[in-house]
Amino acid sequence: MDLIARSQLDDPLVAAREATAEMLNQREPSFSLPQPFYNDQRVFALDMQEIFGKEWLFAGMTCEIPTKGSFITLDIGDNPVVIVRGAEDRIHAFHNVCRHRGSRLCIKDKGKVAKLVCGYHQWTYELDGRLLFAGSDMGADFDLASYGLKPVNIRTAGGFMFISLADEPPAIDDFLVTLEHYLEPYRMDNVKVAVESSIVEDANWKLVLENNRECYHCNGAHPELLNSLQEFDDTDDPRATPDYKSLVARKQSDWDGESVPWQLKRFGKRNRLTRTPLLDGTVSMTMDGQPGCKKLMGRLQSPDMGSLRILHLPNSWNHFMGDHAVVFRVLPLGPQKTVVTTKWLVHKDAVEGVDYDVEQLRKVWDATNAQDRRLAEENQRGINSKAYQPGPYSETYEFGVIDFVDWYAGRMLTNLGHEAPSLQ
């Protein structure tokens, strides 16, 4: 909303901003958040303005828009966005909003076009966002140059595309340089999406993230995933056993032999990269722990790469194995509604039915996603009760959740214009 319109209407969230900052300043550290953070419409509106409207968000993979004119669309709350590959392989992101009367421009989830044409009155934009054609009746002094699409910040690295709706997005270069380096062995120009799924969960987006940030629930919930996944989240997990540590050391020397990075790297609490071994004897997150795709990714010579785990707050976690990768994107739809999109990536020359079977490839994470969805939904239902009060996170099992909530609280306070404790 522009400034004049906003001041005429008054910001309906003024009181909510103050109350939210107050709740964050008063919250008990290492405890779950007060109830409104999980179910209140106003706090949700602030999440969309201050977190999803300002931070860098994982949007998709560059392989999803492989050639000139290919595009994907996504919605960040009320803000439709289109990402398109233009001339000279340049990737552009725009608000997916026509400059004539504001219609959504690209309607499909993905596709390929020569120009971006609005379906309402056919205003036509170049792939770089310039308005090329606006019918014949706009008047002689109509200035096409004043009506280009509004750009959205976009950065790419290691095949990942990140967008930010902020006027001045936070710094992200140091993470992107490392991401590029860690993904080099995977040759991300040579991958494709084998299959994808989107599931809508009746839970606040923070419950989806909190659930992902710990494996405290894994033993009780994820039999398929535990065929291959170790319960330790990091190589420096406080619970790591001597056996696990010696497996880690053995695998790290194998990975060194392949010149594949594995070191744990953190960029504040927003990003973490680390390569961790899978259960000894398994190489992939499949039902039997064996490769789901016969053709390995990139330049890799061995399927035994463990999992390169890449965390990007607020909305993505990822597993890159030797034979395939699984990338996850979380987008809030409402205070208690969230869409989780999962994409399984393989070498682009891998042939379906020959090198991989889609049903086998997706089985473990389909099962895991369905289990996590139930956990998040039940968590939401309990939190909605008048009996809910914030509960303590375990420092040893739930340090990842503590980090996520600290990051969220810190960014929210900063973006609301408050002094934030140095937790981000």
Of 16, 57, 229, 273, which one interacts with ligand 3BY (CB under 6 A)? Answer: 229
Residue 215, interface with ligand 3BY (CB under 6 A)? Answer: yes
The identity of residue 94, as a single letter, is F
Residue 130, interface with ligand FES (CB under 6 A)? Answer: no
Residue 201, interface with Fe ion (CB under 5 A)? Answer: no
- Determine if residue 199 is left, alpha or beta; phi over 0 gives left, psi from -120 to 50 gives alpha, anything else beta: beta
Dist CA 347 CA 295 (whole Å): 7
- Minimum CB separation of residue 212 from Fe ion in Å reads 6
Within 40-69, the residues that bind ligand FES by CB under 6 A are none
Within 272-311, the residues that bind ligand 3BY by CB under 6 A are none
Residue 101, interface with ligand FES (CB under 6 A)? Answer: yes
Residue of 188, 166, 207, 257 lying closest to 379 (CA atoms):
207
Selected range binding ligand FES among 49-57, 81-89, 96-104, 314-322, rule: CB under 6 A: 96-104
Nearer to ligand FES, 147 or 216 (CB): 147
User: Residue of minimal CB distance from ligand 3BY?
Assistant: 215
Residue 218, interface with ligand 3BY (CB under 6 A)? Answer: yes
The binder of 215, among ligand 3BY, Fe ion, ligand FES, none, by C-beta within 5 to 8 A per type, is ligand 3BY
Residue 103, interface with ligand FES (CB under 6 A)? Answer: yes
The identity of residue 26, as a single letter, is Q
Nearer to Fe ion, 210 or 372 (CB): 372
Residue 112 structure tokens: 């390929």
Dist CA 262 CA 247 (whole Å): 14
Selected range binding Fe ion among 70-78, 298-306, 365-373, 387-395, rule: CB under 5 A: 365-373
Number of Cβ within 10 Å of residue 352's Cβ equals 14
- Minimum CB separation of residue 74 from ligand FES in Å reads 20
Residue 121, interface with ligand FES (CB under 6 A)? Answer: yes
Question: Rg (Cα) of the chain, in Å, rounded?
Answer: 22
Selected range binding Fe ion among 73-81, 256-264, 372-380, 397-405, rule: CB under 5 A: 372-380
Residue 118, interface with ligand FES (CB under 6 A)? Answer: yes
Residue 104, interface with ligand FES (CB under 6 A)? Answer: no
Nearer to ligand FES, 118 or 209 (CB): 118
- Minimum CB separation of residue 341 from Fe ion in Å reads 16
Residue 317, interface with ligand 3BY (CB under 6 A)? Answer: yes
Nearer to ligand FES, 138 or 199 (CB): 138
Q: Is residue 274 within 8 Å of 262, Cβ to Cβ?
A: yes
Of 55, 304, 372, 398, which one interacts with Fe ion (CB under 5 A)? Answer: 372
- Minimum CB separation of residue 225 from ligand 3BY in Å reads 6
Question: Residue numbers of the site for Fe ion (CB under 5 A)?
Answer: 372
